[in-house]
Amino acid sequence: MADSDIKSDVAGGPVRHVPVMLNEVLSCLQLTAENKTPLKIVDGTFGAGGYSTAMVEAGAQVMAIDRDPNAIRDGADLVEKLEGKLSLVSGEFRHLDQLAADHDFGQADGVVLDIGVSSMQLDEAERGFSFQKDGPLDMRMSQSGVSAADVVNTMQQSDLTRVIGILGEERRASHVSRAIVREREKIPFSTTLQLANLVEKTLGRRATDRIHPATRTFQALRIFVNQELEQLGEALFAAERLLKAGGRLVVVTFHSLEDRLVKLFFKDRSGKQEGSRHLPLVNHKDATFVIHGKGLLKASRDEAEINPRSRSAKLRWAERNDNPADKMDMSIFGLPNLVPLDSLQLKGE
């Protein structure tokens, strides 16, 4: 991607979120000028519409989804500008096949997911995603339901330890959860800096630390509040149901917990789960996806230099075959058994 490409969007305004691995996404979706009929693509993570815009410009008909009301509101101009080639739907990507049916979109030639938060969500202090900016401790992409403040103010200490340890991969999770519980007895958490400062005070910070001590705790709360792993897992099955034979599923992730899910899904669905060669095949099922080569791409050196966010990106893709979709089986992911989000008390209840 040329430097000039990432500084302005289609409307000539400043880009609010730089799309990661855009060229690779377009090429995996086979979006080229040679397509005679427009390919139908579902963009499950609209964000600032970087992928959607490029896909429409490459000749696709796009249905985009986002759960963030701000993304839907801000995308309205783009929908108008792209004159019937883009529809934008408010909803969760785990329901992408149902949303496509509700909007008469039909079967898709491609589904793309760009997992994680957008730059707009991170940059706006009032969304509460960033430990570098003071704002309400919120982190809800959908702006409804249980917030990060609700979690730290009401969850039992042992459950907090598991959430922070497992979803944040924080080795000293029990130190953090103990400090949170002590602090909230004095004063409940309401802001990002209140939590970030407490974690920093609890874990300390060495000059050699590459990341802020609160990074892992914030990551854990964000994943938990938005049920990101469950959403991703369910979306992969929804994509399997929605794609035509020959259609492509392309997923870009930014950390190992998410990438692991995509890898396990493709392994399960491409028939690569054969077990030991010394034992008879059990639970044999027909593959629904074909993986070409490794089905794994990383950002180019040039992109990594221009956009540091792309350095941790992994793109996995596979092609749907004509076998019927198999049943949804979330057990293939071995997701951690954490306290259900909806069992937590909401503010003021």
Tokens at 153, concatenated: 């103010």
Q: Calculate the alpha carbon distances from 110 to 19, 38, 106, 212 in Å.
A: 18, 11, 12, 38
Q: Calculate the alpha carbon distances from 39 to 84, 180, 213 in Å.
A: 14, 50, 45
Q: Which is nearer to ligand SAM, 66 or 97 (CB)?
A: 66
Q: Which is nearer to ligand SAM, 97 or 114 (CB)?
A: 114
Q: Calculate the alpha carbon distances from 170 to 45, 75, 228, 261, 269 in Å.
A: 27, 36, 18, 20, 31
Residue 341 carries which side chain, given as an amino acid letter? L
93 lines the binding site for ligand SAM (CB under 6 A): yes
Which residue in 51, 105, 224, 237 binds ligand SAM (CB under 6 A)? 51
82 vs 285: CA distance, rounded Å: 42
Q: Which is nearer to ligand SAM, 48 or 214 (CB)?
A: 48
317, 249 contact by CB (below 8 A)? yes
Which residue in 9, 19, 74, 310 binds ligand SAM (CB under 6 A)? 19
Of 333, 334, 294, 328, nearest to 314 by C-alpha is 294
164, 176 contact by CB (below 8 A)? yes
Strand partners, 88: 64
303 lines the binding site for ligand SAM (CB under 6 A): no
Phi-psi region of 228 (alpha: psi -120 to 50; beta: other; left: phi over 0): alpha
Q: Which is nearer to ligand SAM, 70 or 273 (CB)?
A: 70
Q: Which is nearer to ligand SAM, 173 or 249 (CB)?
A: 249
CB of 183 to ligand SAM, least distance (A): 29
| Residue span 110-139 as binding mask against ligand SAM, x where in contact by CB under 6 A, dash where not | ----x-x-x---------------------
Q: Which is nearer to ligand SAM, 196 or 232 (CB)?
A: 232
Which residue in 9, 24, 66, 303 binds ligand SAM (CB under 6 A)? 66
SS3 content of the chain, % helix, strand, coil (to 5): 45, 15, 40
Q: Which is nearer to ligand SAM, 164 or 229 (CB)?
A: 229
Q: Which part of the chain contacts ligand SAM (CB under 6 A), choosing from 45-53, 157-165, 182-190, 339-347?
A: 45-53
25, 45 contact by CB (below 8 A)? no
74 lines the binding site for ligand SAM (CB under 6 A): no
Tokens at 219, concatenated: 């990551």
CB of 226 to ligand SAM, least distance (A): 6
Q: Which is nearer to ligand SAM, 124 or 134 (CB)?
A: 124
CB of 347 to ligand SAM, least distance (A): 21
Which residue in 39, 40, 42, 49 binds ligand SAM (CB under 6 A)? 49
231 lines the binding site for ligand SAM (CB under 6 A): yes
Q: What is the DSSP letter of 132?
A: S
67 lines the binding site for ligand SAM (CB under 6 A): yes
Which residue in 141, 151, 236, 249 binds ligand SAM (CB under 6 A)? 141
Kindly give the pairing relationship between strand 243-253 and strand 108-114: parallel
Which residue in 17, 162, 241, 269 binds ligand SAM (CB under 6 A)? 17
Strand partners, 41: 62, 110
287 vs 79: CA distance, rounded Å: 37
215, 131 contact by CB (below 8 A)? yes
Residue with tokens 């890898």: 263
71 lines the binding site for ligand SAM (CB under 6 A): yes
Q: Which is nearer to ligand SAM, 110 or 213 (CB)?
A: 110
Q: Calculate the alpha carbon distances from 141 to 70, 96, 244, 258, 302 in Å.
A: 9, 17, 30, 17, 31
Which residue in 1, 21, 65, 203 binds ligand SAM (CB under 6 A)? 65
9 lines the binding site for ligand SAM (CB under 6 A): no
Q: Under the rule (CB under 6 A), what is the footprint of ligand SAM?
A: 17, 19, 45, 47-51, 65-68, 71, 92-93, 114, 116, 118, 141, 231
